[in-house]
Each structure stands twice: as structure tokens, then as C-alpha cells.
Amino acid sequence: MNQHFSKNRVEAFSDGIFAIIITLLVLEIKVPHIHEYNSTSELTKALISLLPKLIGWMISFFTVAVIWVNHHRIFGQFKHLDNGIFWWNALLLMWTSFIPFPTAVLGDYPNNLTSIILYGLVMSFMALSFTLMHKYALRNKNLLYDEIDLISFRKGTTYSFIFGPLMYLSGVFLGFIHPYLAFAVFLAIPVYFIFSENTK
């Protein structure tokens, strides 16, 4: 028998995790310690050195915000949840909850290819879990409200794959050319979703 889960409880649980993740992201940015307490130049240099961490935090902050918005949107299309959606959602939360770690690594080692690969792969797996949740829903249409436009839903599934795992992997490959190209792609992904949402 396919067990049904309370949609409200799963959404509330997911929202709580998203809130914790966003909080954890900023905790990786520490106040710098300097030798000369009153040295303006030393403190300025120390703050400038935090720039990669701040950029990584900003990218991940907007990414998690976009994940939350997309999560809210797809759950709004479900009449009810079954075992499959519950576990695809758990997989999405697992990868999302791991985001603070590669974000911290990327901030500490912004020019290191390994940190770029780690970040891109984690984000790719997170995005892929979203796409697979979409595909599962398409195979189990009884989970969706009757008025849902399946053509639009199918198109959204395709977009989630193109502008999700494929784009993150392209960022990884561009990182082999220059780290800042990877940063640009990683930032462009949430920006795309933000503006595509605002133009609907």
C-alpha cells in the first residue's frame, strides 16, 4: 500500500530546514583578527580578504532562496504526497543541507579547482533531485491537482534540468579555464530563476 503523508507537515519540516541552512551559511563568515587593533589598513586588508567568502555566501544565499521558492511552487501543485515524493523531497533536503560546507570550502579556496568541482557537483545533485521529483510526479499524475497543465509542468521539468544540473556542470568545466567563470555561472543560475519568476 502506498502511504500518504501530511502535505502540511512535510512542507513545515522542509521550511524549517531551509531556514536553518540560510542561517548556517552566514556563520561561516568570521570577524577577522588583526595584530594591530587600531590599524585601519590592516583591518581593511583583512575585510577585503573575506570577499571570496562574501561572494560564495551571496551565491548560496540566493540559490537556497530559489530552491525554497521552487519547492513551494511544486508542492502547491500536489494534491497529496506519497512515499516517492516524500523520499525525493528528503533527497533534495539532504543535498541542500550540505550546501554550507562546499560554500565554506569555496570561500576559503576560491582559486582551487577542487573547491569549484565540489561546489558544482553538490549543486548539480541538489538540482537533479528537483528534476527527478518533477519526473516522478509526471509518472504519477494522480498526485497532481486535476487542473494542472501537464504540458507546462513537463516544460518546467525540462527547464529545471537545463538550468539546474547541466548549468552547474558547465560551471565546473568553465572552472578549468578560470575560477571566476565558474563563479559567474553559479551566480547566473539563481539570477535566471529570480528574473524568470518575476516575468511570469
Q: What is the pLDDT of residues 148-190, one digit of tens each?
A: 888 888 988 888 888 889 999 999 999 999 999 999 999 999 9
pLDDT at 152: 87
Contact call for residues 75 and 6 (beta carbons, < 8 A): no
Q: Identify whether 191 is part of a domain.
A: yes
Q: 190 is written with which cell numbers?
A: 539563481
3 Ramachandran zone, left/alpha/beta (phi>0; psi -120 to 50): beta
In a domain, 129, yes or no: yes
Number of folded domains that form the chain: 1
133-150 tens-digit pLDDT: 999 999 999 999 989 888
CB hemisphere CA count around 39 (13 angstroms): 13
pLDDT (0 to 100) of residue 135? 93
Q: Please check whether residue 2 lies inside any domain of the structure.
A: no
Supply the range of the domain harboring residue 29.
Answer: 7-198
Distance set, CA 192 to CA 16, 88, 182 (Å): 25, 24, 15
178: left (phi over 0), alpha (psi -120 to 50) or beta: beta
Average pLDDT value for residue range 60-71: 94
Q: What is the pTM of this model?
A: 0.88
Q: Is 122 within the bounds of a domain?
A: yes
At 63, list the grid cell.
Answer: 540559490
Domain assignment of residue 71, yes or no? yes
Q: Indicate whether 114 belongs to any domain.
A: yes
Listed in sequence order, the DSSP H helices in the chain are 7-27, 40-48, 51-75, 83-97, 100-108, 113-139, 150-161, 167-175, 179-198
Q: Are the C-beta atoms of 119 and 106 separated by less than 8 Å?
A: yes
Spatial contact of 52 and 109, defined as CB atoms under 8 Å apart: no
Please check whether residue 1 lies inside any domain of the structure.
Answer: no
Give domain status of residue 73, yes or no. Answer: yes
Of 80, 90, 77, the C-alpha closest to 3 is 80
pLDDT at 1: 45
Q: Which helix (H) or strand (E) holds 4?
A: none
